[in-house]
Amino acid sequence: MTTDITAAGPFKFIPQGAIVQEWVVGGRNIVLGFKDPAEYAKSNPAFFGATIGRWDKKYWTGPVKETSKDGSEILVYSYKSPHLDEKFPGALDVSVRYTVRTERTDEADISVLEIEFEAQLAPDSPEDWAVISMTNHSYFNIGDQSTIAGTQVTIPDNTNIETNEVDIPTGKLKPFPGVESGVPFTLGPEEPDIDNGFALMTDVAAVPMDSRSKHQLRDPTPHGHAYNYTGKYIETEPRPDGTLAYGKRAGFCVEPARYTNAANMPEWKHMVLLRKGQTYGSRVVWKAWKREIPSLKLVDTPKVYAFLDIQPLSKGHALVIPKTHGEKLTDIPDEELAEMLPVAKKLALAVGAKDYNILQNNGRIAHQVVDHVHVHMVGGARQIPKPNEEEGLTIGWPAKQVDSNELKAYQEELKGKL
């Protein structure tokens, strides 16, 4: 038994469960895990970084380092799983091959992790068949917060494997509610709650994810199924090694694999049934990078920064942000707020807009969407010219009739608080 850490490029691996312990992109670790490998042996209830199957708690042999012509680093872990290991039939010889490399582009250096799973029934196996589906259970947090809220996700095909009331797959396929195929959506503090397998029926190349910190993750794996989980049940305590507690939605999983519950579905069973003389194979590829978004600066003072929106609603659409980090208006110091409107006024004069909106949103249901912004101070004001009815900001105003006495009572309540 060993708790050795093996480093390869920006990655760290440990032999228990052939676990991915660390993946550093843009200066931060984007996978959940513990600093001390011994902590995984004590308790890893969420299976952080583990090779999923009957071997996530086992200590694998290796890694054996292999050479590559293209400069990639290759690590191979192996394990002999005995008959009835975790009550599964058949003795298996399995391996996990990690290939680490960097793809350089004009926009960014892309960190690539390729995982190849392979398994065969051992010659001494008392059974001539086994059921197998291998993947990696890494949790990702590519933002700069303690949860995945604010991460933008695109699922190329929303065809979902239906589950019953106790989350057992029924074998039926149907669209996942609230998620459109190929349309980006943003993960919030609670919703959407995803713990489902997606049968990718369309010809897709990737499952992209993006965050406010502009870390990006992409899974271009050629699988017909990927299990997606937004981490509702994550709950770990702080560890002696300095690892902080992880809570609900601290990370998300994207696990390319065979169809969920395929072993119990006659039409899918062939996906996971391995017989003597056959070789099981599966491949996962993850790519991650941090992309810098250009800032078209207009005003820069000690307290306030203003810049053009790179996806404008109309010409002259600009943003004014305080330099103090704050998610909402109430988080920003008064002295910075006092400078924001004068800057917005200067922008309006400079643009020459006769009609325009000054807009400031707070909270998700109030339309505070910041995924296209590469800074965290989202309590800013937007100066949006309104040149005509079609361009600029379109607003609905669902006014309601309120009892005058009720309104007066609320007036007195607010005056008391002010």
Report d(CA 135, CA 51) in Å as an integer: 6
376 is catalytic: no
Kindly report whether the peptide bond that precedes residue 126 is cis, defined as omega within 30 degrees of 0.
no
Annotated catalytic residue within 83, 215, 270, 374: 374
Strand 11-14 and strand 6-8: the pairing is antiparallel
Name which of 184, 126, 119 is nearest 150 in CA terms.
184
Cα separation of the two ends of the chain: 65
Strand 195-199 and strand 225-229: the pairing is antiparallel
Name which of 338, 300, 332, 291 is nearest 319 in CA terms.
300
Residue type, 187: L
Residue 72 to residues 65, 75, 95, 110, Cα–Cα distance (Å): 11, 10, 18, 13
Instruction: Decide if 146 contacts 247 (C-beta within 8 A).
Output: yes
Instruction: Decide if 56 contacts 142 (C-beta within 8 A).
Output: no
Number of neighbours of residue 387 by Cβ within 10 angstroms: 14
What's 140's DSSP letter?
A: B
Report d(CA 95, CA 115) in Å as an integer: 10
Name the strands in the sheet holding 185-186, side by side, starting at the edge strand that comes first in the sequence: 61-66, 73-81, 92-104, 109-121, 280-290, 215-219, 207-210, 152-153, 185-186
Number of neighbours of residue 174 by Cβ within 10 angstroms: 11
Give catalytic residue positions: 374
